[in-house]
Structure 1
Amino acid sequence: MMDPYTSAQDVMRCDLCETAVVQMHCDTCHVNLCKACVGENISTGKSKDHKVVKFQDRQSTPLYPMCKYHNKERCEMFCKQCDIPVCVSCVALNQHLGHELSKILQLLDEKKDMIIKERNELNDTIYPTYQDFASDVQNRMSQLEKEYGDLSTDITKHGEDWHREIDKLVKKLKAEVDEMKNKQLQTLQKHLGEINKTMSDIKEEINSMETVTDTNDLSKLFSVISNVHTYRNLPHKILPSLPKFNPGKIQGEELSKLFGSLSSSSLTSDKHGYSMKTTQKSPEAGSSPPVKQLLDEPETVTTINTGYGYLYSVACLSDEEIWTNGYDKTMKLYSINQGSLLKSITTMSGNISWNIAVTKSGDLVYTDYDDRTVNIVKNEKIEEVIRLKNWRPKGVCSTSSGDLLVIMDSIEVKQTKVVRYSGSTEKQSIQFDDKGKPLYSHSSLYYRYITENKNLDICVSDDRANALVVVNQAGKLRFRYTGQTPAPKNKPFSPRGITADSQSHILTANINNKCVHIINQDGQFLRCIDCGLSYPWGLCTDSNDNLFVAQLRNKQVKKIKYLQ
């Protein structure tokens, strides 16, 4: 039920007479008054000092705190040493002798400013930061559920493999038992036949002897030749020796070692794992980089011929040298100014490298899709940094913190995710949005490239989805860019290589329209770079924001100036 005195269906009424319209307000008693009731309120004697103001000016009079130690005394002073409000009696009784006292009203605006400042910090910085933390933990929980599921599936599959091998072994042993039995039965059967033949001969000789013994014909008697001496030599007794089954002892610990075991899990707490949201463009810079405007007409500075069958990627080692890779097992380092080949590195497996990047320390990193590895080249020696079991790496980039970001497909090509590594240690996995849906499409036939923007966003070109997928540092989706190409370049958006510049622009090669899109850090299309590009594929930028474009079919890298 609505209050008839304060609802929108009626005007405000006096708190004392409850009939007249409110015109005044006592800031001391916090009551609404009509003019006729002002005197009655003052005469109540509840307070020595009534502050009656116009109703529209209510709460303009400061409401002093009451003293804890002296009844009905207002605290109009503030003791900085004790950090408490004090009244006149407190001061008179020398309870704060020698302490620094200030009028409490002098601290009012200062206190309000501090509260407003802290409220703004909570609202604009701390709360959004904790929102990102919560999103990060949710993503980790979703990823944990999935990865523990994968772990259980692997154990089940390994158990099934063991069962199959045990079934094979049982079948083999039983076949050996049958073979041994049949050989012994055949030997005994042959021996039985020989005994039965001898028994038949003996029987026949007995019959012959019985016939002769009934006659007196001496010639017949002397014609009998006995074989008794032969039959006295009894045959050998054949005793079969059965094999014995010696079952291996099933020792729990030994069986566990043979079958496999789990390494220990852990939950660590890293107080440096999270960082407060900041408006800085770069974590390394104390101030924002100088603003550079886009040129009206981008211009080609130089062109470098690489000689690959197909040219895939380009990565800046410095402002003078670039690494390239293509349809070849070698990765080549070129001089930008001279266009000359400086060095070649052959992949460790002999496979084609899928993508390349350069670390902060100047080492070359490449992904080997077929070998399921990420490798680093240090002093012309290749080291395997990451070996994947059920995933195949595609795009790779080195971050401002020195981590590696790798986008990868599962072996059965049903999942795609981005993983952050510090060395060979997995730090973060990004795969699903807040609703548990995949962030990235999956297919072995499509291309994936990745870069980190200067605002620490993680940007992926997802060719199958015809989109750029951009998430923040915590892995929370910020936006998807699906292309905005002005006519006549209006073929479907098909992104390939991706890079970023000092202005936090995101640049991606659009293979269908043979141009490079530039969008801002929030996904707004800015312009296309054409410059007569032929099948632009890989991209990178140097420290001066020059763009390098690896062109797939003509095997050339173009250096393009597009910022003032």
Structure 2
Amino acid sequence: MNPRTSAQDVMRCDLCETAVVQMHCDTCLVNLCKACVGEHMVFDESKKHDIVPFKIRKSTPKYPRCTDHAEEGCEMYCNQCDSPVCISCVASDQHLGHKIVKIEQVLGERKNKIKKDLIELNENIYPTYQDIASDVQNTIGQLEKEYGDLSTAITKHGEDWHREIDKLVQELKADVDEMKNSQLKILQIHLDEINKKMSEIKDEIGSITVAVQTNEISKLFNVTTDINKYRNLPENIVPSVPKFKPVNIEAELAKIFGALPSSSLTSDKHGYSVKTTQISTQSESSPPVKQLLDEPETDIAIDTGFEYLYNVACLSDEKIWASGMDKTMKLFSINQGLLLKSITTKSGSEPMDIAVTKSGELVYIDENERTVNIVKNEKIEEVIRLQNWRPHGVCSTSSGDLLVIMYNNDDCPSKVVRYYGATEKQCIQFDDKGKPLYSSGLLYYITENRNLDICVSDYEAKAVVVVNQAGKLRFRYTGHTPVMKNKPFCPRGITTNSQSHILTADYNNECVHIIDQDGLFLRYIDCGLSEPYGLSIDTNDNLFVAESKYKKVKKIIYLKISEI
């Protein structure tokens, strides 16, 4: 309602609703005319009605009710007890010797303090917050602009790269056409010469045939043959087509293209700076945080001498076991690369897989004999013998159990069995819906992760299958094929590290995949590996890779302690 164009009615008495308001009851918060004051006071005689002129309404203090004397208001204040008290409380022994003051005095002091706070809030603090909010809003706008410019710059740089790559592709294809045409020209000339010789040979054959069929001696004597010149066959020109050798740019691409440093938010106040991003402290029992190296390094290569190398298992940070297409298992010194010991399998068959127990004993699979064996003091003991199943992979767990992956010849899904000694403790074969977890094919490797997940490389299914300790499926990893190689994922060896990363050898793409404990792809290790097979990790998280083709075990450094 606009007060300039409309009339306003005066305030009326709350009781008679006709007379103009003149008084106010601060106790009941009721507006009264003078004639109705008496009626209001006798309406509720249990209260002490504070009647004041309307203009000074709400000026009478509202005393709090005493908790011990409900009918009385607390008009006094006990400084020792820091609480309001009534007259009855003061008269009692409860506050004997305490300093008692009128509550109005305390209220006045507190009101003055609150008024000062109110002035500071209105005149200083709130305007400051307004300025800060304006600055933050401006920063947000500037940030949007700068990140937009950053994205534009990256897009432009990408377009420049596309133009240069297209140009390079056209140049390479032009070189291919030129080399092809040059070799085709030479081969065509060579073919023309051969066809000419063939024509001459046909003429020679015709002349000789006529001479052989004639009875005229003179004509026969006139026939001369010189086939020696045809006995020297034409040279064999074999064209050599150059192989395109693409540079594997996957690991280096971000570095070549350009990279962004990590962004951070800081708080700047009075010359000091505090990071707003907090890093949780690690417990003493937690492993140190490690980062993946951008460029993994091959530190050592050990020649094992096997015809084909399949398996590797770390005994310690100084020694490794290796096995391959041979009946022996060999122990090598890592730093010297020297052969320290050889153990021959009990049956004379090659070991299908090897592992090292917590106590440092060598375990191996004899697929032909259907046994799992352990080497103690260089003597071989049979631990497990299967009847209708054949073992294929084995690992030793943190609890001292053995996990064995096995298959049979009846196209039955393979299974994982946990053993304590020779006693079967657990069988893992199907998921919650009764579907097989693993295929019925060959070539399995198995390992236990730090979180007690069981990880199996299923070669037939082209997948890494991970179940939890209870055998419930967590995820399947089916590969993340490198663009430059683009071959089907072919998992072989599998191992885990202190960060609970899962590492698996990709035989086809000649690299090692690193995924986290939830199946998220992290990175490849691709540093000139050839036909990687078995994998193992030492206590420092160094990776050992068995190269089947070159019969070498390579030690690869791919992690570093994070600098926090």
TM-score (norm 2): 0.49
> Using CA pairs below 8 Å that are at least 6 residues apart, which structure has the higher relative contact order?
1
TM-score (norm 1): 0.49
